[in-house]
Amino acid sequence: MNKRQLGTSNLYISKIGLGCMTLGTEQQKATEIIDRALDSGINYLDTADLYNFGTNEEIVGKALKGRRDQVVLGTKVGNHFDAQKEDWFWDPSKSYIKEGVKESLRRLQTDYIDLYQLHGGTIDDPIDETIQAFDELVQEGVVRYYGISSIRPNVIRQFVERSNIVSVMMQYSLFDRRPEEEVLDLLHQNQISVLARGPLAKGMLSDKGMEKVEEKAQNGYLTHSYEEVKDMVHSLQEHTDQNRTLQALALQYVLGQPGVASAVFGASSVEQLEKNISMLEASPLTEDLYKTLQEKTRPIVYQKHR
């Protein structure tokens, strides 16, 4: 599988990555999905300390025994949680980040994290303190590089200007084109990569598109109404055939944007994983088809989501 450089780092990650949040809590099943992903050439795995209140990291750590050197491993911090109470609160303080990394390392059964990400962020955070914590972890060698997971332009701009982030993970799909308004160009100009999460828009951009629309968009999706989502799915399906599925179109669109290093999707079964991997066999998007996909979807006004 082709790999792309993550920002200015020396990490090269597969152009599709595995988001581990949907693996579930059965170790054997999760290990089978991860093994299949690695065998297919996927080398980027993304988790977070908050997922299942630490259990997800533990499952990933066990699944990677003997294969850690094959993986670029990303996890996240910033949600101070109590696993016993299953409760959490936002905490981007230096002390919590320094404590959180120790716990993540323990759960993941590793002595380093390739990409450590701030799991959110607001403009009111102690940003300099947060940045200092990440910089120190890099100096200590327990973190190789760091980034943030955010869709907020004002927060992203602050980290671009003041930190050494190599990546920003953000929701991005044909149904959520907010990043195109002002963030993608900013990051590309600063050699900071995008990790696109949710590229299939909760499955509405998969081969079960209309089924998922009925399940996920009865009350609309973001600022799109239910009818708009249905119309967009129908319109996009006109450009699919036996060689290019709807999910191939969706993933190729996101990956066609300059600066996007990887489209990170979840999988709860090996079958689901393989359907996403199959998009790699589709022919590249032509410039005309790329423009057509833009014309047939409706951008969301970023101003409403700051």
Provide the annotated active-site residues.
Answer: 51
Contacts of residue 75, defined as CB under 8 A and 6 or more positions apart, other chains included, come to 46, 47, 48, 49, 57, 104, 108, 113, 115, 116, 117
DSSP line for 117-158: EEE---TTS-HHHHHHHHHHHHHHTSEEEEEEE---HHHHHH
Contacts of residue 159, defined as CB under 8 A and 6 or more positions apart, other chains included, come to 121, 127, 131, 148, 150, 165, 168
- Bridge partners of 5, per DSSP, are 12
3-state secondary structure of 290: helix
3-state secondary structure of 1: coil
CA distances from 59 to 54, 70, 117, 123, 285 (A): 9, 17, 19, 33, 36
Question: How far separated are the first and last CA of the chain, in Å rounded?
Answer: 35
Q: Return the closest-CA partner of residue 148 out of 80, 74, 198, 96.
A: 74
CA distances from 159 to 30, 169, 215 (A): 34, 13, 36
